[in-house]
């Protein structure tokens, strides 16, 4: 409190002859509010003009973390020689294709999958479907469909599983 009193005393001593009437303070306030509004409008116009670039810059760190996390969760191609291991980009594309195929009946799905440019996308999209179905099951009923990688999964969460289809 002492410090606050000293600050007010210094302020009064420094500006005793520069005191303004109330209307001049209101005029100063009007000028400041006008400046703030003009600055806000100009900033909005600049941000709107460069919105795509700004969004790329703002999203880049989050997308990098997501891609790194996805790469860590993908099976190692050297370790799993018997399965087709997609890249993160192919896996994301397969997830999009699987979302589209969800609304189709079996005949439409087969036509849709046959018309894909990359035949591996059908395999990976069906793998996404199996993964989603496996995650919906209780853990004790997943059986041989979902095995957690030994020694690599400190978390006992079902989303951290490595899907392998065994016959």
Question: How high is the pLDDT of residue 39?
Answer: 97
Q: What's the sign of the alpha-carbon dihedral 27, 29, 30, 32?
A: positive
62's tokens? 């989050």
Residue 105's pLDDT is 87
User: What radius of gyration do the chain's Cα atoms show?
Assistant: 31
What pLDDT is attached to residue 14? 57
Which residue stretches of the chain have pLDDT < 70? 11-18, 75-77, 80, 84, 141-167
pTM of the model: 0.47
- CA atoms of 128 and 118, how far apart (whole Å): 16
Domain boundaries, the chain: 21-50, 85-139
Closest CA to 93 of 62, 61, 127: 127
Max Cα separation, the chain?
93
- pLDDT for the residue 161: 45
């Amino acid at each position: 409190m002492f410090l606050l009193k000293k600050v007010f005393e210094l302020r009064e001593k420094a500006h005793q002859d520069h005191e303004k009437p109330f209307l001049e303070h209101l005029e100063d306030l009007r000028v400041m509010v006008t400046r703030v509004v003009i600055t806000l409008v100009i900033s909005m116009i600049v941000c709107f003009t460069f919105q795509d670039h700004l969004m790329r810059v703002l999203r880049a760190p989050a997308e990098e973390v997501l891609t790194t996390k996805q790469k860590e969760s993908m099976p190692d191609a050297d370790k799993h020689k018997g399965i087709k291991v997609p890249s993160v980009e192919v896996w994301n594309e397969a997830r999009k294709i699987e979302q589209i195929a969800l609304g189709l009946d079996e005949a439409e799905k087969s036509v849709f999958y046959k018309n894909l440019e990359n035949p591996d996308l059908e395999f990976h999209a069906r793998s996404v479907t199996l993964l989603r179905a496996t995650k919906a099951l209780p853990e004790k009923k997943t059986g041989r469909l979902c095995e957690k990688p030994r020694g690599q999964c400190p978390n006992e969460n079902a989303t951290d599983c490595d899907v392998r289809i065994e016959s």
